[in-house]
Amino acid sequence: MKKILFTFFIIYGFGLNAQRTDYDWKKMDPKQRKEVINNLSPEERKELLKKFRNNMIMDNLNIDPGDKAEFTQLYNEYLESQKQIKSQFDPSFNPETLSDDEAKAKLQQSFEIGQKLLDNRKKYADKMQQVIPCQKVLKLFQSEGMMRDKMNERKPHNHNNTSGSKQNP
């Protein structure tokens, strides 16, 4: 009897764990979604966000099922590459406290990082065109811009704090 109970608890535990990561997000109200997301670890949140982003991109671009795996890998590679390039620029500075030479150097660095980002985007656009049509690559970049704009709309704007404002290349 103890073995049966023990086995039951193990199976029940696996069931809870599996249920934890396989939510029906469409049937949840926003409050439930927020609660579930807040209970996830940072790594789980990051994975969930990546999964949502990829699903949204796949749906938006209407990627053929046979190309989804290859495109997803390429798209994630592209995003990681862009992230690495952006990390080369330290946005935590106050331009008003920089000397003229420091400001010129920072400005030049921002141009160089911007050019690297553009070059990387071109490189991956060429790679993506081997998997999906050019029109869908264009639509992808267009939807990225719309997602970025929406994310920026949701960020709180603190106009009083100029030293903590982020500068992007």
CB 75 within 8 A of CB 63: no
Separation of alpha carbons 25 and 28, rounded Å: 5
Assess if residue 8 is contained within a domain.
Answer: no
**Entry pTM:** 0.68
Assess if residue 86 is contained within a domain.
Answer: yes
Assess if residue 56 is contained within a domain.
Answer: yes
Give tens-digit pLDDT for 105-148.
Answer: 999 999 999 999 999 999 999 999 999 999 999 999 998 887 77
Assess if residue 45 is contained within a domain.
Answer: yes
Assess if residue 108 is contained within a domain.
Answer: yes
The one-letter amino acid code at 49 reads L
Separation of alpha carbons 80 and 128, rounded Å: 15
Domain carrying residue 105 = 33-151
More confident residue, 146 or 94: 94
Q: What is the mean pLDDT of residues 56-63?
A: 88
Assess if residue 4 is contained within a domain.
Answer: no
Residue 107: C-alpha distances to residues 85, 92, 168 (Å):
16, 14, 10
Assess if residue 159 is contained within a domain.
Answer: no
Assess if residue 107 is contained within a domain.
Answer: yes
Number of domains forming the structure of the chain: 1
Give tens-digit pLDDT for 8-45.
Answer: 445 545 444 444 456 777 777 888 878 888 888 888 88
